[in-house]
Structure 1
Amino acid sequence: MFSSSDLMAESISLESGNMDALKTPEGDLHILFTIASGDALALSAVGVREVVAVSPDRITPVPNTSPLLLGILNLRGQVIWVADTGQFLGDETPLNTDRPELSIIAIEEDELMVGLAVHQIKGMEWLNSDQIKPATNLSDKMAPFIRGEWLLDGEQPQVLKLLDPLAILRSARWGI
């Protein structure tokens, strides 16, 4: 049970300058992940419908479709296509599907939804769009789907590429 002295002590600690935990984040919320090659990518959380971890046997292969597609998945009653995100972006390294769970990011616009299978979800972070730079060292296959990149500071600087979900959803690359 709280007493009035407990509440007063909490009020004093907030007034004393310990406001780091209450700072308003700058920028927009993004989902950070990697593809099989190890490249770090981000998607704005705004266009993401859901992030799920599913057993690979829940993805049903569909014959005579694009090799970029792993198959279809019933996601809460809606059947969606699931793609190997790395291969979709032109990466030669296929996603390892021989594991207990696959991480899938479901992106959507209007009535169109696609699942992007990724190597690993790294988390969510607030990133400032003002700090994005034009992307460098992109393959011709990847370039149409990248909006830019951030150079993140740390022990080892890391390049984080920002994906364009609308370009992915509207791509003729799906071949379906």
Structure 2
Amino acid sequence: MIKSHACLLMAALLAMPTAALSDTLELPADATVNAQVIDELTLSSQAPERNDVILHPVADGHASHTLPQYCVMVANARLDGRRIRLTTNALTCIETDGSESEIYSGEISAAAYDSDGNFGLAACQEGSCRLTPEQTFQLRLASDLALEQQENPAAKLNEQRRQAQGEGVANPIPATRPDPDTD
């Protein structure tokens, strides 16, 4: 039996451990997740640091774990020789299941490692160091991650709306008004 590359990739993704999303989003220390910058990041000797760099997880590569699809991480970037050192400090994820969603937000301590296994990303050429949104790298957690599920105000509003619709009062149809130009 011949399996397509897509089937093999899907099987590999399904076999990959994910953060257990229920009441707590958890990942162990030394877990790796793949990530990308959202906007291009450029550092130079004139601008060797940048705070509040936004990252998002991606499912491609050989990481040990995955995060929910809808996550953003906030990182700081610093030029160190010919490498960009990225360290994360905040994470917010939204996991959806049909019309329900779970929100996790808090601190994360992780650093970017290059494919050579060294801390920092070798992204420098001709005096300029940059990462593009197409480049995938790994973040390695420095400590365990355990974020409790947070209250979701939108879920409460949706529940109230569903209850009101059941009673026939949600989204009322406005009364028609006579057109003032047609008397």
- Shared topology, TM-score over 0.5? no
The TM tier, using the shorter chain, reads: under 0.3
Q: Which has the larger radius of gyration?
A: 2
Whose helix proportion is higher, 1 or 2?
A: 1
What is the TM-score when the length of structure 1 is the normalising length? 0.24
What is the TM-score when the length of structure 2 is the normalising length? 0.24
